[in-house]
Amino acid sequence: MTIATDQILEQLKRVKGPNLTGNIVDLGLVSGIVVADDEVTFSISVPAYLAEQLDPLRAAAEKAAMSVPGVTRAKVTLTANRKGEAVNPVPVRGAPSVAQSSAVPPPMQGRAPSPPPAPGTKAPVPGIGAIIAVASGKGGVGKSTTSVNLALALQANGMKVGILDADIYGPSMPRLLNISGRPQAGENRIMTPLEGYGLKVMSMGFLVDEETAMVWRGPMLMQALTQMLREVAWGELDVLIVDMPPGTGDAQLTMSQNVPLAGVVIVSTPQDLALIDARKGLKMFRKVDVPILGIIENMSSFICPDCGGQQNIFGHGGAHAEAERIGVPFLGEVPLVMAIRETSDNGTPIVVSDPDSVQARIYRDIADRIWTRLGEERMLAGDRG
């Protein structure tokens, strides 16, 4: 049975808005409707300080969506992205705690978020040719190191590149690129990204101290991601790399539904435990119709710095075999070598600190394959259109 978006929207009109006036569809609060088989997912934009009080609204929307013939499951996410609402509103009952409010970085305080895209649309980011997500099913697989070296490899291939550090709770880009400072707010309070090795970079790590623990709940996190993507003067870029947080939570779902991702690259180590989570990430992105550009096997084998011998500490070839099994491209293997770890810790990624090394060439080759895959996906999209 084909489930039409119009059918879902019609049922959602039965759900009143946060102030019990109007309905969530006519108020423009519904976005990112995705139908996958018998499951429907979408977001409802609500004021951040009311999010904890509005779970009944979320439940009502879920029930309304499931009343559509053929729908057996519905997943509804509350996101904070309302026109005219400040991140740090006047304290009222149910507002964020003092600890949460004081954690809002000054460049992001008092900002009026952009209105959400219309239901079922993914508004482009002006000036950016393609947005590529680098994701992993779990943490600790080297996703951020891979992201930054791929961004630098694409730049070495002649492209204008930016990188968005979307890991709000564990930002890595300030250290990986040895960048410090605070983004300045310019005209219309649009933030200016910092730069490192020619890359334009935005990260929560520029807005808070390194040791500050972010205690934001989902709605505040979603709003921060929106601002760091859409309220930044990126200029003209061929590609923006988004270093996604690990896992398959609200951040990944909301980014996938509301951002026109040209594709996603999955990073995994060869071992079965990492591959189990990588599969979950692949399934999620497929459900929301984000093209899978391919899989990278990171820490594929350990190269001894003394003898040059190879040891398969985490196994070997697991990601390659998985890519073949599920029918997605395998982009390449990155070995576990001391040089990659040392240059990452020093803020001098190996692609720029040792561009003639074997490892730098591996990243450039993978970047070439990603760009080729992106072209193939665009051709397919054109054929489908």
- Round to whole Å and give the CA distance between 69 and 44: 21
- Phi, psi values for residue 13, rounded to 5°: -65, -15
pLDDT of residue 107: 53
pLDDT of residue 83: 40
- Round to whole Å and give the CA distance between 270 and 296: 10
pLDDT of residue 212: 65
Take residue 103 and report the two structure tokens written for it.
């954690």
- Round to whole Å and give the CA distance between 229 and 337: 33
Q: At what angle do helices 5-12 and 55-66 cross, to 10 degrees?
A: 130
pLDDT along the chain (385 residues), means of 10: 84 85 84 80 74 78 92 80 36 35 49 48 86 84 93 95 90 92 80 95 83 63 81 95 81 79 89 69 82 89 72 69 84 90 94 95 96 87 60
DSSP bridge pairs for 268: 297
List, in order of start, the domains of the chain with CATH numbers. 5-108 (3.30.300.130), 131-384 (3.40.50.300)
Q: How many CA atoms lie within 13 A of 270 on its CB side?
A: 19
Take residue 194 and report the two structure tokens written for it.
């910092």
pLDDT of residue 295: 92
- Round to whole Å and give the CA distance between 16 and 27: 9
How do the residues of the chain divide into helix, strand and coil, expressed in percent and rounded to 5? 35, 20, 40
Give Cα 175 to chain centroid, integer Å. 19
DSSP state string for 289-343: T--EEEEEEEEEEEE-TTT--EE-BTBSSHHHHHHHHHT--EEEEEEE-HHHHHH
Take residue 195 and report the two structure tokens written for it.
């730069």
pLDDT of residue 243: 94
pLDDT of residue 382: 64
Q: Tell me if 243 sits within 8 A of 216, measured CB to CB.
A: no
The helix or strand, by DSSP H or E, that contains position 222, with its residue range, turns out to be: helix 218-230
Take residue 57 and report the two structure tokens written for it.
């609204």
Give Cα 183 to chain centroid, integer Å. 20
DSSP state string for 225-289: HHHHHHSB---SBSEEEEEPPSSSSHHHHHHHHHS---EEEEEE-SSHHHHHHHHHHHHHHHHTT
- Round to whole Å and give the CA distance between 195 and 304: 34
